[in-house]
Amino acid sequence: MLKNLKVPKSILYLLGLALILNILRVFLFGNASFLYILWNIVLAFVPFLISLILLLRTNKENIVKPFFIIGFIIWFIFLPNAPYVVTDFIHLGRIHAVPVMFDIFLLFASAGVSLLMGLYSISHMEKMLLLKFSKKITNITIAIVILFTSFGVYLGRYFRFNSWDFFISHNSLMESIWKIFTESNNYANVYGYTLLFFAFIYISYVSFRE
């Protein structure tokens, strides 16, 4: 099955560019502060890989069986990692030893390949859902997935949670989410940023799908 796991060339090109720019950043400017972005790209690859494996293994008959359901849940948990890299632009200009223009290209390449993997991943899942469900139900499901993904991006950026916290720090994650909606006095940020992320990801996906 592994030989059938084909990664689109557009992803490979952007991935190569992001990797090269990050390596050049270390050698040209002696600064390794953005190497963590390579790890973020690896995390963004996880939902793409999961959805691709599911796509190769799923048909109309087994889409409601445990293999797909468990795979869907894991995919859903890790999906926020893909668009999350876009928020790394918040660090732009903080390292004065590196020209801002260089970091702009590095961040665009890194965020671009991560977002692209996320869009491909959602597309894989949409194809599978259409095997069993109507177009309307599938569209609603994808929109809900993107909405929760957007909230996941918010949790990652502002509360520093990661997808694996769902497994290793489940109680802490649930408590934080509960406090966000029951004790927070800053609802505008929660809903505002979540809806902003949703609009960005959803419109990006619709544009990608056309």
pLDDT tens by residue, 36-75 = 999 999 999 999 999 999 999 888 888 878 999 999 999 9
State which amino acid sits at residue 145: V
C-alpha pair distances (Å), 196 with each of 5, 29, 129, 156, 171: 33, 34, 26, 15, 27
State which amino acid sits at residue 99: P
Q: What is the pLDDT of residue 96?
A: 86
Per residue, the 3-state secondary structure of 70-136, as one string, reads: HHHHHHHHHCCHHHHHHHHHHHCCCCCCCCHHHHHHHHHHHHHHHHHHHHHHHHHHHHHHCCCCCHH
- DSSP run (H or E) holding 204: helix 187-209
| Cα–Cα dist 182/144, whole Å | 22
**What is the per-residue pLDDT across 121-166, written as a single tens digit (0 to 9) for each?**
999 999 999 999 999 999 999 999 999 999 999 999 988 888 888 8
Q: What is the pLDDT of residue 199?
A: 98
With 60 as the cut, is the pLDDT of residue 186 above it?
A: yes
pTM over 0.85, yes/no:
yes
Sign of CA dihedral 97, 102, 105, 106: negative
Are 83 and 201 in contact by the 8 Å Cβ rule? The answer is yes
With 60 as the cut, is the pLDDT of residue 1 above it?
A: no
